Amino acid sequence: MSLTQIIGKLFVPRQHALERHQNEGEALQRTVLERLTQKAKDTEYGRNHAFMAIKGYDDFRSHVPVNTYEELKGDIDRMRQGETDILWPGRVKWFAKSSGTTNDKSKFIPVSRDGLHDIHYAGGYDSVATYLRNNPKSRLFDGRSLILGGSHAPNYNLKDSLVGDLSAILIENINPLANLVRVPKKKTALLSDFEVKRERIAREAMTKNVTNISGVPSWMLSVLTCMMDITGKKHLEEVWPNIEVFFHGGVAFTPYRKQYEQLITSSRMHYMETYNASEGFFGIQDDPADKSLLLMLDYGVFYEFIPMDGGEIVPLWGVKKGKNYAMVISTSCGLWRYEIGDTIQFTSTNPYKFIISGRTKHFINAFGEELIVDNAEQGLAYACEQTGAEVLEYTAAPVFMDENAKCRHQWLIEFSKRPEDMQQFSDLLDQKLQEINSDYEAKRYKDITLQHLEIVEARENLFNDWLKLRGKLGGQHKVPRLSNSRDTIEQLLALQK
The reported pLDDT for the residue numbered 475 is 47
Q: Which residues contact 336 (CB under 8 A, 6 or more apart)?
A: 45, 49, 64, 67, 72, 87, 330
Of 322, 247, 259, 254, nearest in space to 285 by CA: 247
End-to-end CA gap in the chain: 64
Which amino acid type is present at position 412?
L
Q: What is the structure's pLDDT at 481? A: 87
Nearest Cα residue to 452 out of 425, 489, 426, 421: 426
Give the closest residue to 448 by CA, choosing from 117, 120, 260, 195. 195
Total Cβ atoms within 10 A of residue 312:
8
> Cα–Cα distance between 256 and 242 in angstroms, integer?
21
d(CA 275, CA 285): 9
User: pTM of the prediction?
Assistant: 0.80
pLDDT along the chain (497 residues), means of 10: 92 96 97 98 98 97 96 97 97 86 75 97 97 96 92 82 86 80 89 86 96 90 93 97 95 78 94 95 96 97 93 96 94 97 92 85 83 86 93 91 78 93 97 94 90 96 87 62 91 92
Burial 212-237 (b: 16+ CB within 10 A, else e): bbbbbbbbbbbbbbbbbeeeeeeebb
Q: Are strands 408-417 and 454-457 parallel, antiparallel or unpaired?
A: parallel
* CATH number given to 1-360: 3.40.50.12780
